[in-house]
Amino acid sequence: MRCELTSVARTLAVGVVVPVHNEQESLGSAFAALTHAFERLSRWNLSLRAAVVLDACSDVSEALSREWQCTLARSQSPLEVTVVTCAAKNVGHARALGCAALLAQWSRIDPSRIWLATTDADSRVPKDWLATQVIQREAGVDHWSGRVSVADWSEHLDETRLRWQDEYERENQPIHGANLGFSAAAYLLAGGFEPLETGEDRALHHALIAHGACSYFDSAIPVVTSARRRARAPLGFAHALDVISSTPRARHELSPSTTFIC
């Protein structure tokens, strides 16, 4: 979507939501990457928070989340971590719960001056991930999104990797919950995340656009995500890779408008 960018009130708060469902293998690297991304904002005089939403976790994800929370507190980091638990087994519900937790803590701040972002527990954000979004927000953007990349294809055949890369490159603006950002004011106006097991990111994207949000797609800031075979979302990224790997090329043709959900 093209829109005219105008100056807006300075951002005062930045928060990130991370839904977690049995992610003990990847949480350490996800939290480390987020810490580095927040550190880029440490001199910007902003309120910085992350909400980790533990959704029906039966592994040590909660212990790892609490450890991250305590480590930051001991180091007197400006980043504060809130840990929320639920048993919905629903990523849309988890993202909405995380956003609600952050907004409740910033109840005295105008939502137009709050920037929210979401990523995933099996993903690693780049160092400039948040700084880039805040800069775009202060230029007038309400909704920011970007691509994903995969660092480890060891669970898949080379053919799957090559076909995914070819098909993904033909998609103009994929939407991923692992790489989203939005103004809290625009988010509230759009009705927030729907409690969907899959596609909650795409649904929010459409709702934001429908309510007049100025949207910016940034292909230069990809988030590194997992190519694991065991899916968390029923029709998510792992499912898409399984479809590619199990379907003959002649029968598996994705159009440029196909949306990959992560």
The pair of three-digit structure tokens given for residue 144, joined into one six-digit string: 């920011």
Specify whether domain 13-157+173-227 bears CATH 3.10.20.30: no
Reported residue count of the chain is: 262
Mean pLDDT per block of 10 residues along the chain (262 residues) reads 64 98 96 98 97 98 98 97 98 98 98 98 97 97 94 62 70 91 98 97 98 96 76 54 52 37 35
pTM for the model stands at: 0.84
Are 51 and 20 a contacting pair, CB within 8 Å? no
Dihedral sign, CA of 81, 147, 45, 31? positive
Angle (CA) 129-80-115 rounded to 5° is 45
Choose among 126, 131, 136, 159: nearest CA to 225: 126
Domain boundaries, the chain: 13-157+173-227
**Amino acid (one-letter) located at 144:** W
